[in-house]
Amino acid sequence: MSSWEQRGNYLIEVSQRCLKGRKTFDLCRSHLVQASQISKGTIYNHFTSEADLIIAVACADYRHWLMQAEQDNQQYSDPYLRFIFHHCQRLYRILSEQAFVIARVVPNEAILSQASDYYRERFERVLEQYQQWNAQTLMEIGEVSGFNRSELLCDYLRGAMINSDDAQKHYNYAEMYYQHSFAMTQLMGHSQKRPPNIKVFLQWLAEKQTEKTLVAG
């Protein structure tokens, strides 16, 4: 990785830290000067517009979820559980880390049209890969005719993340993940499937806490 790429990744990490707990993407390139201790000129060379900064952060988020999806492929042989726990993990991360919900601002054609070709193409590529993973997993679960299930789930998941963040729900609440998985199951059209129960989510949350403790230690 070149020094240019390393600096770009660092600026994105700084941006994500600055956005923690925020409900709007009100971070500008000029804000990164003090936060990163990198010159304004260098920052503006990396991100030629405010749209580039937004899309760069979005790319990083989607790459993170693609990496998580690869781990989930290894961990869950059952595609139903793979999908459920993947999207519960997304919600857990937002609430536990107070991460900015990038779904508040993208996908957005107006923002994409203002971004440079470099960032727009990167975003479109990673978004397509992530959408393909979701679509493939749903296909493995079993397609149900009548509605565009992928679209229904996408709209629901976006709303659930934003609403949970707005309501400042606690990340360690097993009932919330059960309700989340129940809603996903219904929207899949597989109401005959039983979502993981509260006990399973309590165990899952305990494992998450253990992971956090090990990382902190």
Rg of the chain on CA atoms, in Å: 18
- Looking at residue 217, what is its pLDDT? 66
Q: What residue ranges do the domains of the chain occupy?
A: 3-216
73 residue type, one letter: N
CATH superfamily of 3-216: Tetracycline Repressor, domain 2 (1.10.357.10)
- Looking at residue 204, what is its pLDDT? 98
> Cβ–Cβ contacts within 10 Å for residue 51, how many?
19
Cis peptide leading into 107, omega within 30 of 0? Answer: yes
- Looking at residue 144, what is its pLDDT? 86
Give the chain's end-to-end CA distance (angstroms, integer): 29
**Tens digit of each residue's pLDDT (9 = 90 or more) over 158-187:** 999 999 999 999 999 999 999 999 999 999
> Cβ–Cβ contacts within 10 Å for residue 186, how many?
14
Q: What residue ranges of the chain have pLDDT lower than 50? A: none
**Tens digit of each residue's pLDDT (9 = 90 or more) over 61-90:** 999 999 999 999 999 999 999 999 999 999
Q: Where are the alpha helices (DSSP H) in the chain?
A: 3-19, 31-36, 40-46, 50-75, 79-97, 109-114, 117-141, 149-166, 174-188, 198-216
